[in-house]
Amino acid sequence: MTIATAPDIREIVRQVIAELRSAAPASAGITTPGVAASPAGSGSFAGRHGIFDSIDDAVTASQEAFEQLERLGMEGRRKAINHIRRISIDDAEELGRMEFVETKIGRLEHKIEKLKVLGERSPGVEFMRSEVFSGDHGLAVIEHAPFGVIGAITPVTHSLPTITGNAVSMIAAGNTVVVNPHPSGKKVAAEGVRRFNAAIHRDIGIDNLVSLIAEPTLDTANALFNHRGVKLICVTGGPAVARAALQASKRAIVAGPGNPPVVVDETADLDRAARAIIYGAAYDNNLLCIAEKQVFVVASVFDRMMAAMERAGALRLNATQVDTLTRKAIVMSGEGVHRHPVPCKDLLGQDASLLAMAAGASGRDGLELVFGETDNDNPFVPTEQMMPFLPFVRCRDVDEAIRLAHESEHGFRHTAIIHSNSVRNMTKMGRLLDTTLFVKNGASVAGLGLGGEGYISFSIATPTGEGVTTPLTFTRQRRCTLVDDLCILGSPDTINH
Ligand code: NAD
- β-pairing, 176-180 with 149-153? parallel
Distance between Cα 367 and ligand 1 center (Å):
28
Question: Closest ligand 1 atom to the C-alpha of 254?
Answer: 41
Nearest CA to ligand 1 atom 10: 182
Task: For residues 117-121, give the mean pLDDT.
Answer: 98
| 257 within ligand 1 shell (Cβ under 6 A) | yes
Average pLDDT, the chain: 92
Residue-level pLDDT at 368: 98
Q: First and final CA of the chain: distance in angstroms? A: 78
| pLDDT at residue number 72 | 97
The predicted model scores a pTM of 0.91
* Residue ID of nearest Cα to ligand 1 atom 17: 241
What's the pLDDT score for residue 216? 98
241 lines ligand 1 (CB under 6 A): yes
Q: What is the pLDDT of residue 243?
A: 95
Mean pLDDT of 115-128: 98
Separation of CA 239 and ligand 1 centre (Å): 7
155 lines ligand 1 (CB under 6 A): yes
The residue among 259, 223, 255 whose CA lies nearest residue 59 is: 223
Residue 3, pLDDT above cutoff 80: no
pLDDT of residue 8: 56
Instruction: Note the pLDDT tens digit of each residue in 8-33.
Output: 545 544 554 454 444 433 333 333 33
pLDDT in tens, 228-262: 999 999 999 999 999 999 998 999 999 999 999 99
Residue 329 vs residues 70, 283, 420, 426: alpha-carbon distances, Å: 50, 19, 31, 32
| Gap between the Cα atoms of 482 and 279, Å rounded | 53
Q: Please indicate whether residue 258, judged by its CB atom, sits closer than 6 Å to ligand 1.
A: yes
The reply to whether ligand 1 has any atom less than 6 angstroms from the CB of 219 is no
- pLDDT (tens digit, 9 = 90+) per residue, 314-327? 999 999 999 999 99
- What's the confidence (pLDDT) of residue 416? 98
Q: Is 385 in the pocket of ligand 1 (CB under 6 A)?
A: no
CA of 241 to the centre of ligand 1 (A): 6
Write down the pLDDT at residue 495: 83
Alpha helices by DSSP H, 227-351: 239-246, 270-282, 299-311, 319-329
Per-residue model confidence as pLDDT tens digits over 172-203: 999 999 999 999 999 999 999 999 999 999 99
Percent of the chain with pLDDT over 90: 89
CA of 5 to the centre of ligand 1 (A): 24
Q: Report CA(155)–ligand 1 centroid distance (Å).
A: 5
pLDDT recorded at residue 15: 56
Average pLDDT over residues 408-437: 98
